Structure 1
Amino acid sequence: MLKNKVFLTQTDTTIGFVSQNAERLTEIKQRPPHKYYIKAVNSLKTLKTFTRIPSNHKNRVRRARKSTFIMPDGHSYRVIRDTHHLLLLNRLQWAYTTSANLSGQPYDEIFAKEAADIIVTPLKTKKKPSIIYKLGKHTLQRIR
């Protein structure tokens, strides 16, 4: 039921689309299908079901706030701590998350509300995007 829905919600960093269906998000955003989405998870326990965090970076991932980590396999994850966003994620456990706009375009509220199946209010303003780190076995590289 909820797995195929696209939610428009205030995420921990910006107003965005949240869904467990990557194909629907790709279709809505008109984005190249080979690009990965950030997978938002509700806890470190859920994160451990998807990937193994390199030993050198376990403390960094556990303590991070509003940070996205690209793992050595190329997939990216963000552990959500924001209480408003966690209300939805605790029901889903994990979801793909992306900004609520067409690929490469600025945010358009009318487009976002038409494209979403469910709108979770309140929608506040856009905030600073998350910091993105690429984790290697021994290295750390800041992407954004």
Structure 2
Amino acid sequence: GIKEKNYEEFYTLFENKQAEFGNFVFEELSMEFIRDLLSEDPIKQFGKYWDEKREIDLVAKTTSGKIIAGNCKYINSKIKKNELNRLMDDCKGAGLNVDIFVIFSKNGFSSELKSLKSDSLRLFTPKSFKLLLA
């Protein structure tokens, strides 16, 4: 189609892949952010977890042995409490004893989820990535 200057098919295919590209970059920035944020207890191991039943976008272990697990959601709606419940269930099913849960959201969080924020639950948006520029 491009050869005949018909770009419709290209744009359709690109739109389908564009979300995947954005999500990948968002996950990578989230990992770098966590590394910088926890510089007082550096990350020793970093990665993702998945099996047939579950997927966890971010799993890390600090030098002191703390386990951090989180998900990154590059979607156009606010993240609700059920996302935290799903993350906790996935971690339990994977046998992870998590010390700190982190959730990254492109468009923020519901009031109910924000009210649960604590030392063991941290919530971040793209505005948080300003730390990476410092």
Structure-2-length-normalised TM-score: 0.27
Bigger relative contact order (CA 8 A; separation at least 6): 1
Structure-1-length-normalised TM-score: 0.26
Structure with the largest fraction of helix: 2
